[in-house]
């Protein structure tokens, strides 16, 4: 699961400068479980944006915002989406990229969240960093423990802290 956190509202509204109408995209998967991009958070973001003078013209929450076919379906069927000055995505970077790929070139697609790490899920709402996405997996050599995420220094040469 990709863990996300909500950007500061001032950063979000700063990125929306010059825009009047906003459409919100949430995510029914990772961001919903992180409580950063589900239905509740879409409603909260709507309130924050309206308080700051923006008009929220609609919202949708695909089961997975990183799944292109689901985003395409929303782009074809959601009223207000194509007329929005900007689309604000409450999902990970992959979700933002997917929405941007599907959006019209004139339409600005912006992130409302920061992706933090790839996690192991212990239970709903409790996550542990499990993978640094380094592209050079050594779990076969380390008994399933990622030295990049488990060692504060990310060293691969001996016990945490390294060996001379």
Q: What is the CATH number of the domain that holds 91?
A: 3.40.50.2300
Give domain status of residue 129, yes or no.
Answer: no
Give domain status of residue 43, yes or no.
Answer: yes
Same domain, 110 and 138: no
Annotate 53-119 with DSSP letters as a single string: T-EEEEEE--S-TT-HHHHHHHHHH-TTTTT-SEEEE-S-HHHHHHHHHHS-TTSEEEESEEEEEEE
CB-CB contact of 83 with 44 (8 Å): no
Q: How many domains does the chain have?
A: 2
The pLDDT of residue 102: 92
Same domain, 65 and 97: yes
Per-residue pLDDT of 53-96, as tens digits, reads: 999 999 999 999 999 999 999 888 888 888 899 999 999 999 99
Q: What does the radius of gyration of the chain's CA atoms come to, in whole angstroms?
A: 19
CB atoms within 10 A of CB 129: 15
Give domain status of residue 126, yes or no.
Answer: no
Per-residue pLDDT of 84-138, as tens digits, reads: 999 999 999 999 999 999 987 778 999 999 998 887 777 777 777 777 777 777 7
Same domain, 33 and 94: yes
pTM: 0.84
Same domain, 138 and 111: no
Confidence of residue 160 (pLDDT cuts 50, 70, 90): low
**What is the domain range of residue 152?**
134-164
The pLDDT of residue 158: 66
Same domain, 31 and 109: yes
The pLDDT of residue 79: 83
Same domain, 85 and 142: no
Same domain, 85 and 143: no
């Amino acid at each position: 699961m990709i863990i996300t956190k909500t950007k500061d509202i001032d950063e979000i509204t700063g990125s929306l400068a010059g825009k009047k109408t906003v459409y919100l995209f949430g995510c029914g998967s990772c961001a919903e479980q992180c409580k950063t991009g589900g239905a509740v958070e879409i409603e909260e973001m709507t309130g924050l944006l309206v308080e700051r003078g923006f008009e929220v013209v609609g919202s949708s929450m695909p089961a997975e915002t990183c799944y292109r076919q689901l985003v395409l379906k929303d782009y074809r069927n959601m009223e207000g989406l194509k007329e929005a000055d900007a689309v604000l995505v409450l999902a990970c970077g992959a979700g933002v990229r997917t929405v941007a790929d599907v959006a019209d070139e004139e339409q600005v697609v912006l992130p409302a969240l920061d992706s933090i790490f790839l996690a192991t899920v212990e239970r709903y709402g409790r996550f542990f960093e499990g993978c640094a996405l380094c592209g050079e997996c050594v779990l076969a050599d380390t008994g399933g423990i990622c030295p990049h995420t488990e060692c504060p220094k990310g060293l691969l040469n001996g016990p945490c802290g390294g060996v001379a």
